[in-house]
Amino acid sequence: MILHRRQLLTAVPAGLMLTGCDALTRNSTAKAVIGAGEQATYRWQRLVGRDGLAREFSAADISPTFKVNGTHEPTNPEWQRLSAGNFADWRLKVTGLVHRELNLTLPQLRALPQRTQITRHDCVEGWSAIGQWAGPQLAPILKAAGLRDGARYIVFLCADDYGGEASKGGLQSASRYYESVDLVDAFHPQTILAHSLNNQPLSTGHGAPLRLRVERQLGYKQAKYLMQIVVADSLAPFGGGKGGYWPDRGYEWYAGT
């Protein structure tokens, strides 16, 4: 950070200290040290709550309006075409480190054993909304595909190009939304591929036709507009390499806090 002499002369000592702190937030060594906190949190939560279940609420607790966040409607022509056809031609591909690649239709996903759960959605910004989600668990789908040796992450590729983070004071370059979880969360009983919210098929804003629910993490992990699931041994080949659209932009990959 370059300070002009006049700025230095007029700055009060406290201001200088804070400018120093601000510069420190951009220093790479400081970033590495501070980033150790995320690892500690991830390990700690796996230690004390590996199998913990997110609280499930009653129908009376459901939020009257569930706020739509992130993409409101994908502009991608392929998704637009699929949406126009009521997702009859939509397929969920399961690929990567699997024994059998899968190509699942919505009726096939609805024919699997279903899980319905009323859970609280916690946005990274601080707000919460409660909704009832329904869909098949992710675990049996992964078992049907068969994970090969080396599988460590489940990556979710989405149809929406998301661009823009108002909270950073400007537009970020648009790029394809994606997310990923470890195998503990992937095989967790409350991790489902939801096709309905509050007994209605997912609306466009909430991620039609299918979205991920990984209930012990924040809202940005709940990837919408799912197109493909990739079983991977590394997050490096995807997006910016940090395992998700927001993790590529400085947010924690493990969003349990």
Partner 1 sequence: MATAAPTLAPLRPDSRVVLRHHWLVRLTHWLNAIAIIILLMTGLNIFGAHPRLYWGDAGSVDQREQLWLETGASPPWRNPTGWIEIAGTRFDTTGFIGVSQSPKGTTSFVAFPDWATLPSGRDLATARTWHFFFAWVIILNGLAWLLYGLFSGRLWREILPKRRQLTRAHLWTDIVEHAKLNFPKGEAALSYEVLQRLAYAGVTLVLIPTVILTGLTMSPGMDAAWPWLDALWGGRQSARSVHFIAMSGIAGFLLLHLVLVVLSGPIRQIGAMITGRMTIGGDK
Task: Give the residues lining the site for partner 1 (CB under 8 A).
Answer: 15, 18, 21-22, 25, 33-38, 40-41, 45, 48-49, 52-55, 57, 61, 63-67, 120, 122-130, 167-169, 215-218, 246, 249-252, 256-257
Confirm if 170 and 202 have CB atoms less than 8 A apart.
no
**Cα dihedral 165→256→134→184 (10° resolution):** 130
Residue 204 beta carbon to partner 1: minimum distance, rounded to whole angstroms: 16
Do 214 and 192 meet the contact criterion of CB atoms below 8 Å apart?
Answer: no
**Residue placing its CB nearer to partner 1 in the complex, 65 or 173:** 65
The count of other CB atoms within 10 Å of the CB of residue 184 is 13
Contacts of 182 (CB under 8 A, 6+ apart): 152, 153, 154
Q: In the complex with partner 1, which residue's Cβ is closer, 32 or 88?
A: 32
Whether 211 and 157 have beta carbons less than 8 Å apart is answered as: no
Residue 73 or 165: which CB sits closer to partner 1?
165
Q: Minimum distance between the CB of residue 37 and partner 1, rounded to whole angstroms?
A: 3
3-state secondary structure of 151: coil
Q: Give the tokens for residue 239.
A: 């997006």
| Smallest separation (angstroms) from partner 1 to the CB of 83 | 23
Nearest distance from C-beta of residue 131 to partner 1, angstroms: 9
In the complex with partner 1, the residue whose CB is nearer, 140 or 250, is: 250
Our CA angle for 106, 247, 218, nearest 5°, is 60
The phi and psi torsions of 108 (rounded to 5 degrees) equal -65, -40
Cβ proximity to partner 1, 64 vs 107, nearer residue:
64
Q: Taking Cα atoms as reference points, which of 123, 115, 121 lies closest to residue 192?
A: 115
Q: How far is the CB of 71 from partner 1 (least distance, A)?
A: 17
Strand partners, 213: 192
Report the residue number, 87 or 216, with the smaller CB distance to partner 1: 216
Least separation in angstroms between residue 138's CB and partner 1 is: 16
Residue found by looking up tokens 């998301």 in the block: 162
Q: Do strands 226-232 and 92-96 pair parallel, antiparallel, or not at all (unpaired)?
A: parallel
Q: Which is nearer to partner 1, 146 or 205 (CB)?
A: 205
Least distance (Å) between residue 218 CB and partner 1: 6
